[in-house]
Each structure stands twice: as C-alpha cells, then as structure tokens.
Amino acid sequence: METILVTGGAGFIGSNFVQDCLNVTESRVVNLDKLTYAGNLENLTSVKDHPRHVFVQGDIGDRPLTDKLLGQYKPSAIVNFAAESHVDRSIHGPEEFIQTNIIGTFHLLESVRGYWSELPEQEKERFRFLHVSTDEVYGSLTAEAPAFTETNPYAPNSPYSASKASSDHLVRAYYHTYGIPVLTTNCSNNYGPFQFPEKLIPLIVMNALKGQSLPIYGDGKNIRDWLYVGDHCTAIRAVLAKGSVGEVYNIGGNHEKTNLEIVHTVCDILDELAPDSSGAPYRRLITFVKDRPGHDHRYAIDATKIAGEIGWTPAETFESGIIKTVTWYLENLTWAENIANGSYQNWIAENYEDR
Ligand code: NAD
Ligand code: TYD
C-alpha cells in the first residue's frame, strides 16, 4: 500500500486534504501534527477510526521522530502543510513562525534527505516532497498590476510571509543541491469547512451570529483571491501526480474580492439562512477598525501554468463555495463553540482590544 505523510493534517487545509485523500485514493495517510492552538482533532472526527489513517502528535522539527516515522511507514510522498499560518499572530509574536516555518521545515528536509538517499533507485525517482506555500511570498500588488506568476520575484512583507518565503527557498535548495524531488505550490486565500475562526470568513460568520461587531481592517478595500479548500485539495493531488520535479505551481480561485465584498456576501447569506431574531440585517454590525500594520493591498494568482501543464482548474465558483461554507458553519456550531471555549478567546482580546 502506498503511504503519504501529511504534516499539519489537523489544521484547516490539512484536515480537508487528509479526508479527501482517504475518500478518493487507496493510500495510507500518516498524519503528523503538533496540535498547536490551530490543530484540532475534531477536524478529523470523520476519519478517526479509518483503517488507513494513522495520527501522530509531534513536531516537524523533531528529527528523531520524523526519522522514525519515515523509516517505519516508508512514504512515497510527503505533503508539508505544517506551519504557523496567521498573519496577525505573526505580527504580535513572530518567533513561533521562525521556529516552525523555517527551522521546522529545515529539520524535516534534513530527515527527508537521510531517508531519500537510502531508497532504492526506482523509489527515489518516484518520491515527492510537496511543500504547501502561499501567494503572500510575492508581496503586494497594486490595483492594475498583473496577477502573480511563478516567476514573480519574492517580496514578503509580514513575518508570516517572510518565514514561508524562507522555507520555499530551503525546499528549492534541497532540490538543486541534493536532488530531492520537490514540488512547491503557492496558493491564494482558502476558505471552506474547518477554518479556524481567527480568519476573516469564519470570524465574520461567528461574530454575526452572536450579534458582535464585524471588524474590517482599514477601509476594507484590500483584495484577496479566494480559493475553495476542496479545489485546493484536488490541485495538490494533481500536482503530486503530474507536476514536474523542482517546479513551482501557483494555485488560485480566479475570484478576486475586496474584504468588504466578502463581508457583505457573508452577511447577505446569513440574512437568508439564519436571519437575526430582530429582523435587522447583519451588515449593521460592520465596524471599520485600525488597519493591520504593513497590510498587503492585493493578492491575485495567475493560474495559467497549472491549468496548461497539469489540466487543473477550480470546480467551485465563489458563489457556490461561499454558500457551502456558510451552510457548513451553521450546521457545525458546536465545532466552533468548542474552539471559542478555549484559549482562542485570549487571542480575540489581544488582537482586537486596541483596534
Ligand atoms: P492552520 O493554521 O489551520 O493549520 C496548521 C496546522 O499545522 C495545525 O494543525 C498545527 O497544529 C500544525 N502545526 C503547526 N506547527 C507544527 C509543527 N511544528 N509540527 C507539526 N505540526 C504543526 O493552517 P492552514 O490554513 O491549514 O494552512 C496550511 C498550510 O497552507 C500552511 O503551510 C499555510 O502557510 C499554507 N497556506 C494557507 C492558506 C490559507 O488561506 N489558509 C493560503 C495559502 C497557503
Ligand atoms: P486573513 O483571513 O487573516 O488572511 P490573510 O491575511 O492571510 O490574507 O485576512 C483576510 C483579509 O481580511 C486580510 O486583508 C485582512 C482582513 N481582515 C479583516 O479585515 N478583519 C479581520 O478581523 C481579519 C481576521 C482579517
């Protein structure tokens, strides 16, 4: 049986990917996750007893552990999602971002180097290390600039994006120097089920339902290119199967929206699906708050390469994806409540207090 090692598989995208892999492929999935504040075993309830799912709590930077897992399960592919992923947290405290995103990725690569170099020739050729990265490494676009292609120079602006950029460079170097068959994907903002409610879309859904203010940083005109998480998962599987070793693939949803448009859309869907008992529209809760320092104005992905070389395009429109997403949160309020009961509340106080 083929084995994939997924890191960060208890987080938002990772847990969607683990479920997708178990449903759609015959592979065994070894899921290595440290279970930081963002890792949540409730994201994996549907695959808890799945015979091809092995969950291991641990750190990608723990070399003895990763050496052991690689030797024991002999994966033919690794998909590296594990990271600190929230820009605002990287502004409040960058250290964990350096630790996991840069040093953790380095240790994982070293472990992989040792494992891969001992593989028989055929397995060496078949092996893939897929590093999941972000469009934020390319920096910020003006309103008129063309979307990011894979050859855009790196210009990260936040501690988060700088740490991801650094890890991308390490991955690239391990291909060029040691020949490890790597693939890197840089994708745009994801949304969908199981996203931690510190990120824009789930935060807006949860605050609206509680009648709390909907904080919009600055003027709300910042633009992101939104990708439904299920589409991201199919893209990663497609790149794993058909991507050329050493190459980078940008993944985007072709749905550029301002933050204000996003919040308006979410409010309008909630007005339909879960109207406020007062009958008043949720848009009344919108509050403009102090901007994020160094807030990137616009991200947009040019996904021509992955479409042309691999044949992947997103299946979901923004309109279909956002209805699915809001519906999912409404049907899984206990999931969100269980998070809200924990230390997540401390974060809310820290981030929004002075805004
Ligand atoms: P997330 O924060 O929801 O999940 C990250 C997961 O990694 C958590 O389960 C956490 O416990 C785990 N983790 C953290 N440090 C670890 C460590 N040292 N060892 C093992 N596990 C560790 O993040 P996400 O939104 O699912 O993002 C996944 C990946 O995709 C990240 O690499 C992120 O940079 C990238 N990405 C995310 C987006 C997005 O919109 N969410 C967009 C582009 C790229
Ligand atoms: P976020 O979900 O944090 O993703 P990223 O910063 O990686 O793009 O934020 C998406 C956009 O929404 C970003 O421009 C910041 C903005 N935002 C708000 O306006 N208010 C909020 O409370 C949050 C969390 C984000």
**pLDDT tens digits, 136-180:** 999 999 999 999 999 999 999 999 999 999 999 999 999 999 999
pLDDT in tens, 310-338: 999 999 999 999 999 999 999 999 999 99
**pLDDT at res. 355:** 84
Average pLDDT (274-294) is 97
Tell me whether residue 200 is in a domain: no
Which atom of ligand 2 is closest in space to residue 200's alpha carbon?
2
Tell me whether residue 178 is in a domain: yes
Tell me whether residue 332 is in a domain: no
- Which of 86, 199, 261 has the most ligand 2 atoms within 8 A of CB, as the residue to mutate? 199
Determine whether 272 is an active site residue: no
> Which of the residues 136, 198, 256, 316 is marked catalytic?
136
Answer whether 38 contacts ligand 1 (Cβ < 6 A): yes
Which residue's alpha carbon is at the smallest distance from atom 3 of ligand 2? 199
pTM (predicted TM-score): 0.98
- Does the pLDDT value for residue 347 go beyond 90? no
Determine whether 249 is an active site residue: no
Tell me whether residue 351 is in a domain: no
Cα(163) to centroid(ligand 2), Å:
18
**What span, in angstroms and rounded, lies between the C-alpha atoms of 268 and 275?**
9
Answer whether 200 contacts ligand 2 (Cβ < 6 A): yes
Count of structural domains within the chain: 1
- Does the pLDDT value for residue 345 go beyond 80? no
Tell me whether residue 11 is in a domain: yes
Contact 185, 133 (CB under 8 A): yes
- Which of 158, 259, 348 has the most ligand 2 atoms within 8 A of CB, as the residue to mutate? 259
Question: Could you list the residue range(s) of the whole structural domain that residue 139 is in?
Answer: 3-195+227-253+295-315
Instruction: Work out the angle at residue 292's Cα, subtended by the Cα atoms of residues 248 and 96, and round it to the nearest 5 degrees.
Output: 60
**What span, in angstroms and rounded, lies between the C-alpha atoms of 227 and 250?**
12
Question: Which residue, 116, 31, 131, is CA-closest to 76?
Answer: 116
**pLDDT at res. 105:** 99
**What span, in angstroms and rounded, lies between the C-alpha atoms of 87 and 157?**
10
- Does the pLDDT value for residue 234 go beyond 80? yes
Instruction: Work out the angle at residue 203's Cα, subtended by the Cα atoms of residues 276 and 88, and round it to the nearest 5 degrees.
Output: 155
Determine whether 135 is an active site residue: yes
Question: Which residue, 232, 240, 134, is CA-closest to 183?
Answer: 240
- Does the pLDDT value for residue 343 go beyond 80? no
Answer whether 59 contacts ligand 1 (Cβ < 6 A): yes
CATH number of the domain where residue 141 is located: 3.40.50.720
pLDDT in tens, 13-47: 999 999 999 999 999 999 999 999 999 999 999 99
- Does the pLDDT value for residue 275 go beyond 90? yes
Average pLDDT (260-276) is 98
Instruction: Work out the angle at residue 115's Cα, subtended by the Cα atoms of residues 34 and 122, and round it to the nearest 5 degrees.
Output: 130
Which atom of ligand 2 is closest in space to residue 220's alpha carbon?
19
Cα(308) to centroid(ligand 1), Å:
28
Q: Which residues contact 24 (CB under 8 A, 6 or more apart)?
A: 237
pLDDT in tens, 184-217: 999 999 999 999 999 999 999 999 999 999 999 9
- Does the pLDDT value for residue 350 go beyond 90? no
Cα(133) to centroid(ligand 1), Å:
10
Residue that wins the pLDDT comparison between 347 and 11 = 11
Ramachandran bin of 353, using left for φ above 0, alpha for ψ from -120 to 50, beta for the remaining angles: alpha
Question: Confidence band (pLDDT; 50, 70, 90) for 122?
Answer: very high
Answer whether 36 contacts ligand 1 (Cβ < 6 A): yes
Which residue's alpha carbon is at the smallest distance from atom 1 of ligand 1? 11
Tell me whether residue 344 is in a domain: no
- Does the pLDDT value for residue 344 go beyond 80? no
Tell me whether residue 91 is in a domain: yes
